[in-house]
Amino acid sequence: MNKAETLLVAFQDLNWENYIEISDAIVEFDKSNVEGELITQSSIYSYYQGLLTVAKREYDKAQLDLAQFVATSRKDEQDACLRSGKKTTEKSLEAYVVALPQYKEKTSITIELSYKLGLLKGLVDALQQKKDMLIQLSANARAETKLYS
């Protein structure tokens, strides 16, 4: 499995438990090799930023799917009521849609994708903080070297 496939599988399996493990792993660094860490930091950041973009796309698709389902269901129910001579209200249409099992399913998918999106934002933020820390450590090391020169 290549890196892209591995990251997509990680996205599919992302939950609170492995979030903690991933978070610990991506912020870990070798203090004796700050230069090397800085070199690899950008590619790791890029992987997770890309995965965040994938997650955002999936979330946006789920939101669109939910919105289309709501609109279609409301229209179908409103049409059915008009044909039968029943009166409809916004509240009755909303209640009808929310009571549908598909609504719960589509909303649950959207919530899960929003959750994963938030976790990935946290990982990307952690990588940003790691970069800042590595830069500061590198600057500190250079300044320390100048003191002893």
85: left (phi over 0), alpha (psi -120 to 50) or beta: left
Rg (CA), the chain: 24
Please tell me the predicted confidence (pLDDT) of residue 59: 98
The reported pLDDT for the residue numbered 132 is 94
The answer to whether 61 and 126 are in contact (CB under 8 A) is no
Q: What are phi and psi of 100, to 5 degrees?
A: -70, 135
pLDDT of residue 149: 63
Asked if 138 and 132 touch (Cβ cutoff 8 Å), the reply is no
pTM: 0.86
CA–CA distance, 45 with 18 (Å, rounded to integer): 18
For position 41, what pLDDT does the model report? 93
Where the chain has pLDDT below 70, the residues are 147-149
